[in-house]
Structure 1
Amino acid sequence: MVELDNVDRGILHELQLDARNRTAQEIADKVDVSASTVRNRIEELEDDGIIEGYHPKIDYERANLPLQIMFVCSAPPTERSDMVEQILDVRGVVDVRETLTGHRNMYVEAVGTDTADTVRISDAMHEIGLSIESSEILRQRRVQPFNHFFFTDPYDSGQDADEEG
């Protein structure tokens, strides 16, 4: 576990808003440090594994993959980790999420062009050993950056206005 300070938190928030178009100087202006500090901190956050990568947001429908399906599955807890790797190898699977519960403990998001893709993906998941509890066609997915890195006001020095110090 790495202890993050307000500078790290501010950098992470700014990167989540738009990592591709934010310059080190723009981030520095927001978090009140130098651009070189921002670049060094980003490198440290990457080295520490906090920043795992930078990923494009894809409009699958415009990319001619109009079907987005969410499969809710159950997998034996002792086999889940191995199954995740196998599921990620199935063409069309774009996201796998594990939960801590024993039932309905895996969510698999997949994309495809037609129902044949849906059948192929669900057959592959059955072959891996997953039990599909339900599947839903997704209409829309919206993601927002985590904006609660600052557990206190980042501009509050911790002193009341009437205190000196």
Structure 2
Amino acid sequence: MQLDEFDRGIIAALQEDARMPVAQVAERVALSATPVSRRIKRLEDEGVIRGYAPVLDPRRLGFELEAYVLINLVAHVDENIARFEQAIADNPYVIACHAVTGDMDYLVRVIARNVEHLSQITLRTLLRIPGVRDVKSIIVLETIKEDRAVPVEI
């Protein structure tokens, strides 16, 4: 999809504040509200904008720990992959999972209440998924940068 300067401006404004009123977005990009509404609808319909969600603070919800878990499968057969991906999709403490290159097969981002909870998630859940060979955890000590915004060249 080809984005013009107005589309990029709209995206930049909504990434800054997805609850920004259309009139305010329109003012920022120097268009009237009606074409901005149409452009937002088109960006949503074409999948550029996939949705809107609040950005939550896990610590304020009782999740004091964040970890990245590296996982290897025993074998890369369809059954193992499907079973693993379903177990990951069903786990509420897994907030992201990526198939990766290198020594490990998956990089999983997990939130937990504390170290004991992380141990339960890792040893009693992730490691017990049929087809998982090994698991390595990396606990986050401090987050330096975390941003979901995608660079939009204007």
Q: Give the TM bin, normalised by the shorter chain.
A: 0.7 to 0.9
Partner of 1:87: 88
Q: Which 4+ runs in 1 deviate beyond 4 A?
A: 75-81
* Bigger Rg over Cα: 1
Partner of 2:120: 120
Q: Which has the higher mean CA deviation after the structures are superposed, 38-47 or 120-129?
A: 120-129
Aligned-residue identity in percent: 27
Distance 1:105 1:14, change over 3 A: farther
* Matched residue type, 2:146: R
Does structure 2 conserve the Cα–Cα contact (< 8 Å) formed by 1:96 and 1:106? yes
Q: TM-score scaled to structure 2, two decimals?
A: 0.80
Distance 1:36 1:122 in 2: 50
Of 139, 142, 146, the match for 1:142 = 146
Partner of 1:10: 9
Which structure: greater helix fraction? 2
Structure 2 residue runs of 5 or longer lacking an equivalent are: none
3-state DSSP class of the match of 1:61?
helix
Does structure 2 conserve the Cα–Cα contact (< 8 Å) formed by 1:95 and 1:110? yes
User: How many equivalent residue pairs?
Assistant: 147
Distance 1:39 1:121, change over 3 A: same
3-state DSSP class of the match of 1:62?
helix
Deviations along 1:88-134, one digit per CA (max 9) or x if unpaired, are 211311122333x2533422111121233212221322223343234
Distance 1:68 1:103 in 2: 22
3-state DSSP class of the match of 2:38?
helix
CA displacement at 1:78 relative to structure 2: 5.8
Is 1:42 aligned to residue 43 of structure 2? no
Distance 1:72 1:91, change over 3 A: same
3-state DSSP class of the match of 2:71?
strand
Partner of 1:73: 71
3-state DSSP class of the match of 1:127?
coil
Partner of 2:99: 98
What RMSD in Å do the two structures reach over aligned CA positions? 2.3
Q: TM-score scaled to structure 1, two decimals?
A: 0.75
* Matched residue type, 2:150: F
